[in-house]
């Protein structure tokens, strides 16, 4: 394997190991819906586990189409209201408010809230093929309950590249019209990283990023 690939993979692994030791879990990139820019299985698993009664009521109406209906409502809400508002406040689905993230309770007096908080699914995906149109990949994507919130392009100076190369990659090789990059609707922040420096952008806009 060329030295460049080896050293960048080692850098990815180092970051991955730290995150896996702090609450993240690997999320398989093959489960990513490129058109809707979401990990549908992760989103549905979180909702089913934390909002049983709401799910059962929806299931009574929609039967085996419940998952599809929930995903349709979630993606429509993300596209209309944005990822941050949806993570904070949830989304509407046939009259029910469903949460897609649970934040740490102010106190530990309510076991149900504590359990919901612990049920959050923090995902880490390496080399995510994100585009419906091609096989380009992002080095690392972090997600919350199936919603991608962070992208990272990693460069290791041992391979002859730095964060400046990652910035160039975001500006010139990442189409902001791709669903995963849709401003405010999916990933909220993009990091260009090497072993010495980190740069970030909240909106991809070609050479104006």
Q: What is the pLDDT of residue 35?
A: 98
Which ranges of the chain have pLDDT less than 50? 1-3
Q: What is the pLDDT of residue 6?
A: 57
Across the chain, the runs of DSSP E, i.e. the strands, are 24-26, 91-93, 96-98, 122-129, 137-144, 147-154, 189-193, 198-201
Query: In angstroms, rounded to a whole number, what is the distance separating the alpha carbons of residues 147 and 91?
Result: 13
pTM of the model: 0.93
Tens digits of residue pLDDT in 154-200: 999 888 899 999 999 999 999 999 999 999 999 999 999 999 999 99
Q: What is the pLDDT of residue 159?
A: 84
Q: What is the pLDDT of residue 3?
A: 45
Q: What is the pLDDT of residue 5?
A: 55
> How far is the CA of 111 from the CAs of 6, 45, 73, 76, 117, in angstroms?
46, 20, 29, 32, 10
Query: In angstroms, rounded to a whole number, what is the distance separating the alpha carbons of residues 74 and 190?
Result: 23
Are residues 33 and 39 in contact, defined by beta-carbon separation less than 8 angstroms?
yes
CA quadruple 106, 107, 113, 115: dihedral sign: positive
């Amino acid at each position: 394997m060329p030295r460049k690939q080896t050293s960048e993979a080692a850098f990815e692994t180092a970051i991955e190991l730290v995150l896996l030791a702090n609450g993240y879990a690997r999320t398989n990139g093959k489960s990513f819906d490129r058109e809707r820019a979401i990990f549908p299985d992760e989103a549905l698993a979180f909702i089913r586990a934390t909002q049983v009664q709401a799910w059962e009521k929806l299931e009574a109406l929609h039967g085996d189409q419940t998952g599809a209906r929930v995903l349709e409502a979630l993606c429509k809400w993300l596209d209309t209201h944005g990822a941050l508002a949806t993570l904070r406040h949830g989304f509407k689905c046939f009259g029910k408010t469903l949460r897609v993230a649970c934040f740490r309770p102010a106190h530990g007096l309510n076991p149900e809230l504590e359990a919901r908080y612990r049920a959050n699914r923090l995902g880490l995906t390496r080399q995510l093929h994100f585009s419906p149109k091609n096989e380009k990949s992002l080095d690392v994507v972090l997600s919350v309950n199936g919603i991608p919130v962070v992208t990272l392009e990693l460069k290791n100076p041992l391979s002859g590249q730095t964060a400046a190369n990652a910035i160039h990659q975001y500006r010139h090789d990442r189409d902001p019209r791709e669903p995963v990059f849709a401003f405010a609707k999916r990933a909220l922040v993009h990091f260009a990283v090497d072993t010495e420096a980190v740069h970030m952008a909240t909106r991809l806009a070609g050479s104006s990023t």
